[in-house]
Amino acid sequence: MELTKNLTQTKLIKSLVVVILGSIALTISAKIKIPFYPVPMTMQTFVVLFLGVSLGYKIGIATVGLYLIEGIVGLPVFSNSPEKGVGLIYFTGPTMGYLIGFLTACYLASKIKISDNFIVILFKLIIATSTIYILGLIWLGTLIGWDKPIFALGAKPFLLAEICKIMILAILTKQIIKIRKFI
């Protein structure tokens, strides 16, 4: 009984450390950016997908969730914070849909299996990334108006970079999944 309790505590502590480290990685990826209006291009989508693939959906979503909570409560974890604000005010700005999309993308990326071939992995990563953009564009259109060129502002400038990030991750995915069992 005592051994089971110790193993459970050890697993919980290990999971908490992974969630915190993943949140830090996501914060760092938010700061690696190329400025664009109205949303910056960052390495966040790569890291979000990586977290889903490498950690699975429970730990991955907990990591992304912690990151979002940190930003909402005012820690400067988001891409343009603290320069353009912090907390709930920043969160509900132009990037909110994309940030919420991180949760769906992480979940969908976690569903990639070691038995999936390269094309299936690529397709699943494209679908996962698409949820970020779909939710992002819906929120952006709602916020700034549907009369604006929403796709041109909120997706088109980032597509080439997303394709590169997805290709790199698709190539690495099987190796990442093999390592997942140690986390």
Cα(116)–Cα(127) distance, rounded to whole angstroms? 15
Domain 11-180 belongs in CATH node 1.10.1760.20: yes
Per-residue pLDDT reduced to its tens digit, 84-96: 888 999 999 999 9
pTM score over 0.85: yes
Tell me the domain boundaries of the chain: 11-180
Q: Please return the burial class of 128, using the count of CB atoms within 10 Å of its CB with bins 0-12, 13-18 and 19+.
A: buried
Cα(61)–Cα(110) distance, rounded to whole angstroms? 9
Low-confidence ranges of the chain (pLDDT < 70): 1, 36-40, 182-183
Read off the tokens for 74.
């005012």
pLDDT reported for residue 138: 98
b/e sequence 23-61, b meaning 16+ C-beta within 10 Å = bebbbebbbeeeeeeebbbbbbbbbbbbbbbbbbbebbb
Are the C-beta atoms of 134 and 126 separated by less than 8 Å?
no
